[in-house]
Amino acid sequence: MNGIEKWLEKRGVTIEDVAEIVYNLQRPYNADLQMDECRDSVRAVLEKREVQYVLYTGIALDELAERRLLPEPLQAIMEKDESLYGVDETLALGITNVYGMIGLTSFGYLDKMKPGIIRQLNLKGEKIHVFLDDLVAGLAAAASARIAHGDPKAIRYHLPESP
Ligand code: MG
């Protein structure tokens, strides 16, 4: 298990949790889809350094808020999970964007429906998951987009051809 998987697990999120969301997102479009492909896709997204940096940053802010170490007004905003804050969603888009526009629709859907582990992270307890719920949605959306591209080993950005 690599560093970022350990960070996620320590915050209550496993590869399996994310893979389940990916499976449910993609299964309607792909009758042959296996859970193994979903796990592999989540791991492949997690291998990207820019994805790891986003996750480390968001998780660190959640943990600092739990320890009441953030400066005001940020501490109060994080404790309330202020709906107008929005930086959690913005940061999560840094993960979704890795696989282009396809991930964006899924991210919006997951943010609204909050399936599986995303809903559990949203339940109010003494833990603060302001960032993590969105980061998991972003991760699942990216892993799902990666499968939707149908060419997992060679994801290309859809940039216009140069003249
Ligand atoms: Mg949030």
pLDDT digits (tens, 9 = 90+) for 47-83: 999 999 999 999 999 999 999 999 999 999 999 988 8
- Specify the pLDDT at position 130: 97
Report d(CA 138, CA 141) in Å as an integer. 5
CB of 9 closer than 8 Å to CB of 114: no
Rounded distance from Cα 66 to ligand 1 centre (Å)? 14
- The pTM of the full predicted model, rounded to 2 decimals, is 0.89
Rounded distance from Cα 23 to ligand 1 centre (Å)? 22
Rounded distance from Cα 136 to ligand 1 centre (Å)? 10
Rounded distance from Cα 2 to ligand 1 centre (Å)? 25
Mean pLDDT of 148-152: 67
- Specify the pLDDT at position 61: 98
The confidence band for 20, taking pLDDT boundaries of 50, 70 and 90, is very high
- Specify the pLDDT at position 95: 96
- Stated as kind and residue range, the H or E segment containing 108 is helix 102-113
Rounded distance from Cα 143 to ligand 1 centre (Å)? 19
Report d(CA 40, CA 42) in Å as an integer. 5
Per-residue pLDDT for 111 more than 50?
Answer: yes
Per-residue pLDDT for 36 more than 90?
Answer: yes
Rounded distance from Cα 163 to ligand 1 centre (Å)? 42
